[in-house]
Structure 1
């Protein structure tokens, strides 16, 4: 299984194709007609929505735009990489068609704000299992698979060049006894250990901070090392995952996260806060 992101490859290919068309000064309709490629197909390729990338279409576009051998080979390579499956493809029943790990796989910076829960990348297996039970009577089989998928996501934090991660966690998430006192004690200790890693910053947003720009709910902003790979925002709802890519949306969430960091406790103050919470569970 590939550790690369097929979604990132599709976006890069779309960027190349859109750039070639704009350089030629053509509309989508004109380019598709002249190249002999269906307009809907070219549109989906440029917006990275095409799941099936045919080499015949790529060659037709390469011929029409009169690109060199290097560009043509690059287009084929991106298409080939976009077809590869990451480990998360085994968990479509958990992640859905657009899987968050697909983006996390190549993120260089992950900024997340969580209100009710410890971030998924920081969760212990027992804490995650309690979340998936959600107070319902469930079998271990119903819980074990999503827990396994969630824990597998965390491998990115242990790779040779892990992403930089900043998490702002509302105080409510630290007070909520998910799974009971023992499970929560274990989770908070794990969070404290992660917080001292060189690539991880944890900030607690205390109740006393009052109103802030994240009051509408949790979100995650992912940035990538290549400048052409624009950031993406992930917002999870009760029924689906939303991935926002428009520049104005990214800017809005960047501003919100900056505000959250500004009103949250510092990393050192947050470490003390977490330690106090751990001690309170030991009484």
Structure 2
């Protein structure tokens, strides 16, 4: 179970060797005891972890089989140094986890970096008849279109040649300042949220891998056309919940999504980049309503 308390989060983590890496993951139900429960996969963003979903998890666990993981380089999972992190490998890891857990079909709720991983999974689903069927996909704020993603100066510095130096000087105070800029004016991050997210970043000296993880910005541009085609042509129900105050992927990203995706289903929230933390009940209510429409 994902809980607000970090100790419980760590205690409840399971670990599996997936694609050669030790990956932390969580599951809400024993699938074999509850075979008819629909499955939801949560995919988190940068630079956080599966912990982001703790509020929605507590409520959705009553109805669904929930699965989440700390992606490679994040949270409690392995953080190899000098490693060529890739969104495509993250999709491989998720595919392996779903296979290990016996998942045949599932819904996706994704955010930020996780949106790109979800887009890769959707593209594979559309082109190769992937064994696990995606039943629906809900995006929260993220760079679903590379051309409209506006990274922060901090991200640009971490991604640059001085990234290692910049990461060395990163601390909890700088994380708090950065999050204050991307959260909504009236939905600023709480101190305990910053504390937990910082501990998860620092776990296993995770600051050192942040520059390498940011290669995802270039990958988005590389695969943007293929991912966009999948979103435009898919029969999988899509939904975009967007915090419009987000300077990275807010109103401008939502506007482009509405312009590009046929018959777009969207909701604008008056918050920033982390709707699941800034407006947790709204996200829960909206997502449950979406699920009620797509689950027959």
TM-score by length of 1: 0.30
Name whichever structure is richer in helix by fraction: 1
CA radius of gyration, larger in:
1
